[in-house]
Structure 1
Amino acid sequence: MSIFYEKIFPEETKQLFHCMQQLDKETDFMLYLPGERVYQEKKLKHFIQTTQENGILLGVKYQNQIIGFISAQTSKLAKVKHTGYLVIGVQKKFQKSGIATKLFEKLFTWARNKGIHRLELTVITANLPAIRLYEKLGFQKEGLKKDAIYMNNRYYDEFYMAKLLNEKR
């Protein structure tokens, strides 16, 4: 199986959208509900461009289709430019094969090369496989967002998690 880990470019908006749409159908743990995400080419192109300018957007490609991604968005503001906020998603049939770990490894290399010191994310507390992965990769729980997500007729909490790179104080 030939899998490629590459930057996603603006001309790949439809592929990225289809990947995101598939993730929305497969899991409750992405932000959008199935059918809630609307394809708006200009907005998605802008998202890809600004993420690549102020961070990174890596895709996992299999048979010329994007089957997963990781993004790190950073700020140009001096006080927080050392921080990247992460989002990751890998389609269900490709999970548990090391793809997410490989995406994180590539992201960690990029972050260190860019002088990023802190990587952070949020995760629904019921998403135990993701929490185990993040902890295995060195992320630590830093806080709890009570009732942050409403789905399936109830509220869910989210953990704030972060990993410090090149830890120096």
Structure 2
Amino acid sequence: MDIREIKEEDARLYLELCQRLDEQSEFIIFEPGERYISVEEQQEHIRDVLSKKRSTLLVADHGNELIGFITIRGNDLKRIQHRATITLGVLEEFQGRGIGKQLMKAAEAWAVKQGIRRFELSVMSHNKQALWLYSRLDYSVEGIRRKSVVLDHEVVNEFYMSKMIE
């Protein structure tokens, strides 16, 4: 397995990864079948992300399959260019193997080179596996987004978490 920055030609594989995650996990914001995007639109999105200095998308490449990703969305405004929001996803059958941790560490290494010193994320309050990973990587809960997600007709809280990186 290789952790690397996404390429435009990964658009189809990345879209397939995201659609599989939508089907597998209730912790993804998209519901199954709700991701309406073509491969060409996905390619344009990748091009847009890669064009920004403080944003990127790293993937876990397992042969001819992408099995996980982490997005880093930074900002060029001077007052907040030191922070970025991250989103992580790993296919169910590859969870528990350290891939999420490897993606997080690779994202931190990339971010430091860009002058990013703070990562922020949100996680559903009942996502125990993600909370365990984030707490092991020194993320702290800064707040609660109360009733921020509707999941199976129930409202769910999210934790807002952050970490200072070096």
Contact 1:51–1:72, Cα closer than 8 Å, also in 2:
no
Deviation at 1:78, TM superposition (A): 1.3
The code of the aligned residue for 1:53 comes to: S
Q: Which residue of 2 aligns with 1:48?
A: 46
The code of the aligned residue for 2:138 comes to: G
Within a 5 Å distance, the mapping from 1:76-87 to structure 2 comes to 76-87=76-87
Deviation at 1:154, TM superposition (A): 0.5
**2:80 counterpart SS class:** coil
Q: Which residue of 2 aligns with 1:94?
A: 94
Q: Which residue of 1 aligns with 2:110?
A: 110
Superposed CA RMSD in Å reads 1.1
Within a 5 Å distance, the mapping from 1:55-74 to structure 2 comes to 55-74=55-74
Q: Which residue of 2 aligns with 1:17?
A: 15
Partner Cα distance (1:35, 1:165) in 2: 36
Query: Which structure 2 residue ranges, 5 or more long, are not aligned?
Result: none
Where in structure 1 do 4 or more consecutive aligned residues deviate above 4 Å?
none
Q: Which residue of 2 aligns with 1:4?
A: 2
Contact 2:15–2:39, Cα closer than 8 Å, also in 1:
no
Partner Cα distance (1:111, 1:146) in 2: 29
Within a 5 Å distance, the mapping from 1:20-39 to structure 2 comes to 20-39=18-37
Contact 2:150–2:156, Cα closer than 8 Å, also in 1:
yes
The code of the aligned residue for 1:51 comes to: V
Partner Cα distance (2:41, 2:83) in 1: 24
The code of the aligned residue for 2:67 comes to: I
Partner Cα distance (1:100, 1:150) in 2: 25
**Equivalences, count:** 164
**2:43 counterpart SS class:** helix
Partner Cα distance (1:4, 1:92) in 2: 18
The TM-score, its normalising length taken from structure 2, stands at 0.95
The code of the aligned residue for 1:36 comes to: E
Query: Which structure 1 residue ranges, 5 or more long, are not aligned?
Result: none
Identify which range, 10-19 or 35-44, moves more after superposition: 35-44
Contact 1:117–1:164, Cα closer than 8 Å, also in 2:
yes
Partner Cα distance (2:82, 2:43) in 1: 25
**1:110 counterpart SS class:** helix
Contact 1:51–1:71, Cα closer than 8 Å, also in 2:
no
**2:33 counterpart SS class:** coil
Q: Which residue of 1 aligns with 2:143?
A: 143
Contact 2:5–2:58, Cα closer than 8 Å, also in 1:
yes
Deviation at 1:145, TM superposition (A): 0.4
**2:36 counterpart SS class:** coil
Identical aligned residues as a percent: 29
Contact 2:148–2:158, Cα closer than 8 Å, also in 1:
yes
Partner Cα distance (1:119, 1:92) in 2: 24
